[in-house]
Structure 1
């Protein structure tokens, strides 16, 4: 596919810009659906009135009309009796879902509210996990069951040890503070990989730069206002956007520079750890940073000193003539890539690609999806963070992340 480059688009603005232009066409088509009960299409996110969600919603159709097989192979990954469920909708901007095998809960972040929550498997209850998360974004659990989180406000990556203490594993590189670590994954060799774009160098998701910094070039933003912990921040001036690897010894290396992949965001390994997938997203709101190409890139992974080679485009994320906005992604045990996307109503949700980069399936949601993960005791539930809501869907595959 041809690689597309669209300036000024990101996970939020793609939805804002495109929904006005495209949603009317989608909604209009749904309104003209036949009214005969024998021929009418079942309701979906594009119908009028919209599909109802939550515990009081009427039973949904099965198979779910918003789980769409683009290719026949996608049907093998589905459980036909499953329907998409919205399990919580009290957040502001949810991100970073990660499954704790030991605790049997799903951890996720509300970046804007600066809190972390957990969804309890046994009861389905969502409880407050950390009342102050320093605008945490991405989370993961390593192969020892320890929680690793990216904190936008303090511009660092931390790991929670088994004794309950928090250890800072990354906050500087080459003498410079980090920007706002975004997404993070763990490797069985003990290394930690994370992206460091500038999404947390804005007011909503962290704190902006000091006057003259790239996120506050004219100095009009009063970066200290409303930040009680401003004296403890790790960085005050945005740096280059890199993708990093933390060695088990603690050494931090750049594996992808800003020039090689601008605005890195979501990332994941293939199940055999032979590939690394990285999303390049658009410029964040209100910033003067760099544009990504709104595509997913893939690299061959090695154990040598230079771990990545053979860079190539996995998918340009264009669908039906629309440039979608990819964000977080995860692999299943078969090597398929499940990617959260923003875009117009009827297109946004989750896109599923086979290992060759072919789109094989879609999950439509009423909001763009920031990130996904697999959870549940069998790892056969897909959890999706979308705006203020958390969704889940039972599938016929399993996640390839630490179990």
Structure 2
């Protein structure tokens, strides 16, 4: 698990739909600090989140953002998806917000899906991997700006709308496929799968269904030892569980366990549900949930919450590896921590 410093994608420059723009529909750079608060429940939380830490809102004015991933080492930049805007944005301290990829889904697409990309990740070579709602596929951005389809079908039927993906050190990936990118979701006439699945994508392109038990499988993460897969079920108000699965020697999954139930954290007003997640090198879990980002230890104990005034969607590490970025509805936040993030390659 090493920090990636591959700048390959950013050397593409203005090719095949990879656009860097600064004037069209550009969200606002924000200088506001203390844009959130902290619920400190356990002394361990204070070791992770320093007492003098603030929540920074670094950009705003988006439609609904997701899937943050850092590229380029300490001096790099963050990429993240704006699903309804059909755009992948970039952000850095020096350059602010720019359009990295637009559109993700062609206007005349006939896939039956809607929106752009959701979860983003890097493979072992530092190439950008996209979970594309509108195109209903997992794709890879090539150095010439084109995209290669890695997975778009299971049993010869089109996937629903791939949501999030994580890479194992073997090169195999695990991804989730809820129906959020389909109008009507489970009732959509475009839905071809009878389930909403958790899948394995092998290096040779084989797609294997690992579980069809979750109603809305969403955010996904691996433990530092790669023995456990965590998957959020985002079916508020019916199921707001973070599930854990033992990863077997053949990279299939054992029986699921409820690792954390976030339903008790929410009042009658919707304040978010289990969604995107990431881990640090000690195995602590940072998961979007009711109220903001909940931090859990590897036993599932709730240590505390980074509280925001809007719904948190996903989280990812950046900068020097100790900065947590949060995509939350219309705004991008960051919090500087003491923990080092777990970055997969």
TM range (shorter): 0.7 to 0.9
* Counterpart for residue 115 of structure 1: 87
* Counterpart for residue 11 of structure 1: none
* Counterpart for residue 15 of structure 2: none
After the TM superposition, list the runs of 4 or more consecutive aligned residues in structure 1 that deviate by more than 6 angstroms: none
Q: Quote the offset at 1:369 in angstroms.
A: 0.5
Cα distance in 2 for partners of 1:130, 1:295 equals 33
Q: Quote the offset at 1:73 in angstroms.
A: 0.8
User: Structure 2 length normalisation: TM-score?
Assistant: 0.82
Q: Quote the offset at 1:318 in angstroms.
A: 3.1
Q: Confirm whether residue 127 of structure 1 aligns to residue 98 of structure 2.
A: yes
Q: Confirm whether residue 395 of structure 1 aligns to residue 316 of structure 2.
A: no
Instruction: Provide the aligned C-alpha RMSD in A.
Output: 2.2
5+ long unaligned stretches in structure 1: 1-52, 203-207, 217-235, 284-290, 343-347
Q: 2:172 aligns with which of 187, 191, 194?
A: 191
Q: Quote the offset at 1:144 in angstroms.
A: 1.4
* Counterpart for residue 136 of structure 2: 155
Whether the 8 Å contact between 1:294 and 1:316 is mirrored in structure 2 is: yes
* Counterpart for residue 20 of structure 2: none
Q: 1:298 aligns with which of 244, 251, 262?
A: 244
Q: SS of the counterpart of 2:276? A: strand
* Counterpart for residue 181 of structure 1: 162
Q: Quote the offset at 1:65 in angstroms.
A: 7.2
Q: Quote the offset at 1:133 in angstroms.
A: 1.4
Cα distance in 2 for partners of 1:353, 1:392 equals 18
Whether the 8 Å contact between 1:279 and 1:295 is mirrored in structure 2 is: yes
* Counterpart for residue 26 of structure 2: none
User: Structure 1 length normalisation: TM-score?
Assistant: 0.70
Q: 1:370 aligns with which of 301, 313, 325?
A: 313
Whether the 8 Å contact between 1:350 and 1:364 is mirrored in structure 2 is: yes
Q: Quote the offset at 1:293 in angstroms.
A: 1.8
* Counterpart for residue 224 of structure 2: 271
Cα distance in 2 for partners of 1:244, 1:68 equals 35
Give the 5 Å matches for 1:43-192.
54-55=30-31, 57=32, 60=34, 66-101=37-72, 104-121=76-93, 123=94, 125-134=96-105, 135-192=116-173
Q: Quote the offset at 1:214 in angstroms.
A: 2.2
Cα distance in 1 for partners of 2:47, 2:104 equals 39
Cα distance in 2 for partners of 1:265, 1:277 equals 10
Provide the aligned length of Structure 1 versus Structure 2: 302
* Counterpart for residue 237 of structure 1: 191
Residue-by-residue CA offset, 1:308-337 (whole Å, 9 max, x unaligned): 114211011133574861110101111001
Q: 1:349 aligns with which of 288, 292, 305?
A: 292
* Counterpart for residue 254 of structure 2: 309
Q: Quote the offset at 1:163 in angstroms.
A: 4.7
Give the 5 Å matches for 1:33-44.
none
CA change 1:332–1:108 in 2 (3 A) is same
- Normalized per residue, the structure richer in strand is 2
Q: SS of the counterpart of 1:67? A: strand
* Counterpart for residue 205 of structure 2: 250
